Amino acid sequence: MNGMRFDGRVAIVTGAGAAAGLGRAHARLLARRGAKVVVNDLGTGPDGKGIERAHAEWVVDEIRADGGEAVADTNSVADEKSAEAIVQGALDTYGRVDILVNNAGIVRLGEFDAISSDDITQSIDVHLMGNIWMCRAVWPHMSEQGYGRIVNVTSIAMWGARLTVIYGTVKAGILGLTRGLAVEGAEHNILVNTLAPRANTTAFYYFNDNSAPALKTDRPPEAVAPAVAYMCHEECALNGAYVAAGGGHVAVGVFGTTAGYDCGPEITVEDVRDNIAAIKETSGFSEFPEDLIHSKLALKEQFVAQ
């Protein structure tokens, strides 16, 4: 079986400057497989304040030492013009952009009624708006060339966890963004997927006071990167997927509804109460159709034909 390579492809990986970061692992693996990589990092580290520093230039030096091609970029993803500058830098240097890994992020933890307004705003700006601005910046170029692969990074925090209400909220928004872009991008051969990583990164140790060093060998960032590289490849068979990866384990999140209970058009509040067990019963679980994206495309084509 032939190895999966990225010769001739140009990738942008945001938030890729941390010494023990996921972005660094993604950038290095793509470069080792032949991609030319734009290593983006603002340099502030996972706290977004500069207490923990990150260095895109250092990762570029690593890639070049391994025989790969890379350039550093220190623009912010949280600003529309800066996001456009990141993409323009890739175009100016390499002439195209084929892959975008939206890995940049910050973590601001706190109880919902205690977290500061500034932390809320910055979380939205970096995570949700950062993904939107970067996707908008690469979209016309990928559409014109009829090819693109985008991986947006979400988190299991979107399912709910203490101290992560805001973080989980913006990560859930990224999943919604991905699903919509997957629909619009399919006709242009742009595949868009999400990654929910589990790894012991710089951010993990910073925010956990280095309390779990034994986990480092169990879930290194490098064990997540192959799943990302697969989603970045032309052979990728996923679109709009939620991919969980960590410690060498890879899974796809499945979304759907229960069979529910039909109370009829005269439904009352009491009907819902009295049948809540049947409404919640999962034995009749129905996955959202995998061909949802294609069915929407067919519907669009039908309207265009008319």
Active site residues: 167
Q: What is the DSSP string of 109-176?
A: ---TTTS-HHHHHHHIIIIIIHHHHHHHHHHHHHHHHT-EEEEEE--GGGG--TT-HHHHHHHHHHHH
* Integer Cα distance of 238 and 290 in angstroms: 10
Q: In one letter, which amino acid is 86?
A: I
